Chain A
């Protein structure tokens, strides 16, 4: 049984989203990091990039496979977590602390289209 914090929203593609101070912080779920195995490299988008919900914007490379990360909402990338480059293993250790990027959303209604914790739990069959 993986950890699925109740206050976050989730995409079916296993990204989590947290609305804070008007921006959406994004990472990957405990279920996703467990399936990936040890994370070794992360490719982040450029700050300033405009993205649409569902766009592939980052890549997580683990010992097992490379996995695409998708924007859960549309908007502009306003920050990326540079610390991840030196500590990719933090994605495994603290999946809800190790954020990838922040998006300034163009349409906050898109957040409501994401799954809540119960919905994500069902989606991953737990």
Chain B
């Protein structure tokens, strides 16, 4: 039996087909992942993401410690309620995880991936030894994401009161707290939306209320097709400890300024930058029928690459992928699918944002 979130029984009651994800039993879909995907882009949907870990970092040394542990710079956060997306690197510049860090009144809150949470916590605790900082895993905090153009308004309407006022005030990548709920305007779909962190003993009630109000529950299948369309990385596919941010479409999250900020992996990153990173992530579009999938080989002129994530894109009606390819690539390539080569178009690794097709 895998790990279960507080919503396990509700997923089953809603007809979810369950699947293992990083040791957790999660809903793959509740009937049709393609329909769920469309619903998020069209209006909104609710995702149980309670398998992800919430980690608070407090103490007098918290800020400077995080400036050492993360490749992005928390000093850029102008005040409580602001967030940024960052990679956490090892000494070789490889990615241990990608995460969002929120600045709070006291200390910081990190939300890290489910499949890497044990590894991340071990790393953070080791890094914290002898430092004036405390790393606290919030095991009784659950998370729901409500994503889609109608999401914020639907949730505000349902909650009313001070939480609704907070929601309506939030700018993208901002968060606020109200009566024990931490509400952020962040997400993983390329649409507007919220991520609500709340006590585990309240999440079943909120999930029930949201579904009862007609908000569609969304499984991990649609979560994956939505994030691939948005060009967002998935740890374990686009990201791993063998690849740096430079070759993972994460260059924009690395703060090399100020040059005096020493952070884990800095030296390795600077050396790789000076030499010239050998590869990059691109988007691929298959114009014919077929589905691109992870690990398929990509052939470009005389060079080769690999699909890191492939899926069918419900919004485009065709298959798309993210792929790691040599730095200089032409606009056309071929991908090997079950022994045959198919032509693909090479594009920037973002296909859809806010419901609009970009490629």
Contact = CB atoms under 8 A, between A and B. Distances in A.
A43 interface: yes
A40 interface: yes
Contact of A40 (B28, B29, B221, B291): B291
Interface string B6-40: 00000000000100000000001100111000000
Interface in A36-74: 37-38, 40-41, 43, 61, 63, 66
14 contacts: A37-B28, A38-B32, A38-B34, A38-B221, A38-B312, A40-B291, A41-B290, A41-B291, A43-B289, A61-B289, A63-B34, A63-B291, A66-B338, A89-B32
B287 to A, nearest CB: 13
A66 B296 CA distance: 13
A92 B33 CA distance: 12
A66 B29 CA distance: 19
A63 B338 contact: no
A84 B340 CA distance: 23
Interface of B: 17, 28-29, 32-34, 221, 225, 289-291, 311-312, 338
Given A63-B221, A63-B311, A66-B338, A38 B291 contact: no
Contacts of B34: 38, 40, 63, 89
Given A37-B29, A38-B32, A40-B312, A63 B225 contact: yes
Given A37-B221, A40-B312, A66 B291 contact: yes
Contacts of B311: 63
A38 B33 contact: yes
Given A63-B225, A66-B338, A92 B32 contact: yes
Given A37-B221, A40-B312, A63 B290 contact: no
B137 to A, nearest CB: 33
B6 to A, nearest CB: 26
Contacts of B312: 38, 40, 63
Of A37, A38, A89, most buried by chain B (CB within 10 Å of CB) is A38
Interface class of chain A by DSSP: mixed
A37 B289 contact: no
Contacts of B33: 37-38, 63
A40 B32 CA distance: 12
Nearest to A38: B34
B220 to A, nearest CB: 12
A55 to B, nearest CB: 17
A61 B29 CA distance: 18
Contacts of A89: 32, 34
Given A37-B221, A38-B32, 12 more contacts: A38-B33, A38-B221, A41-B289, A41-B290, A43-B289, A61-B290, A61-B291, A63-B33, A63-B221, A63-B291, A63-B311, A66-B291
A63 B222 CA distance: 10
Nearest to A35: B17
A38 B291 CA distance: 12
B34 to A, nearest CB: 4
By Cβ-Cβ distance, the 8 closest A-B pairs, closest first, are A41-B289, A38-B34, A40-B312, A63-B312, A61-B291, A38-B32, A38-B33, A63-B33
A67 B31 CA distance: 20
Nearest to B291: A61
Contacts of A66: 291, 338
Contacts of B221: 37-38, 63
Of A40, A41, A43, A63, most buried by chain B (CB within 10 Å of CB) is A63
A89 B33 CA distance: 11
A43 B291 CA distance: 12
Interface string A78-92: 000000000001001
